[in-house]
Amino acid sequence: MSKDISVHAIWLAQDDPKKNTAVKLSRRGDLKLHEKFTRLPRRGIILEPLCGKVLGPEDHSLLLEENGSLVGLDCSWAHIEDSVKQVMAKTKLKGRMLPLLLAANPVNWGKPGKMTTAEALAASLYLIGKEDQGRKLLAAFSWGDQFWILNKEPLEAYAEAKSSAELVELQFQFFNIER
């Protein structure tokens, strides 16, 4: 059995901690939650939806072979632009976004791209070949299975992509978005 990826989240405390997926995963021991930027891992990938570069096969070795960490940016969608600016100015982690997937969480159910931190981390793990670790994260939520059901076909296709460019193109097969 291969080693799990080190999973973290930077928590900006912008929403209700009782409903926060990263806080819940931290309490369960499934990820390390950070409130200070200085405590973030030095090497790895941070998921942030505005960077314009998709997490692709070219990034996998950083996580799988070079012991890089996977970090989620946990903030409110209402403050995403300021949050991304604040975090990315203080880290050397590589910013990556996910290809389009549907949210299964109760707040944004069915909305493309409006995932919780837990959904984004789980999808990332799936895409790099760590499906079991990703499924374990979402098993903490009553709606977790819905994420896998809603996104079965795109996730399978994305996981087979040979490059970030191919991943970006695949989105058009599943979602009605403008090029």
List pLDDT tens digits, range 18-33: 778 988 999 999 999 9
Grade residue 108 by pLDDT with cuts at 50, 70 and 90: confident
What whole-number distance in Å separates Cα of residue 95 and Cα of residue 78? 20
Q: Is 34 helix (H, G, I), strand (E, B) or coil?
A: strand
Q: Read off φ and ψ for residue 88, nearest 5 degrees.
A: -70, -20
Q: Tokens 């919780």 identify what position?
A: 116
Instruction: Please list, in sequence order, all residues whose beta carbon lies within 8 angstroms of the beta carbon of residue 13, skipping any fewer than 6 positions away.
Output: 35
Is residue 69 over pLDDT 60?
yes
- pLDDT number for residue 178: 66
Q: Is 172 helix (H, G, I), strand (E, B) or coil?
A: helix
Percent of the chain with pLDDT over 70: 97
**Cβ distance 44 to 71 under 8 Å?**
yes
Give CA separation, 94 vs 54, 91, 101, 109, 153, in Å: 11, 8, 21, 28, 27
The arithmetic mean of pLDDT across residues 70-80, rounded, is 82
Q: Kindly report the CA angle at 119 between 14 and 135, in degrees rounded to 5?
A: 140
The arithmetic mean of pLDDT across residues 146-157, rounded, is 96
- pLDDT number for residue 28: 92
Indicate the residue type of 19.
Answer: K
Least confident of 13-27, 29-43, 141-155, 162-176: 13-27
Give strand pairing partners of 9.
33, 72
What whole-number distance in Å separates Cα of residue 128 and Cα of residue 13? 28
- pLDDT number for residue 50: 84
Is residue 36 over pLDDT 90?
no
pTM tops 0.85, yes or no = yes
Q: Is 63 helix (H, G, I), strand (E, B) or coil?
A: helix
Instruction: Report the mean per-residue pLDDT for the chain.
Output: 89
Q: Comparing 158 with 74, which gets the higher pLDDT?
A: 158
- pLDDT number for residue 13: 74
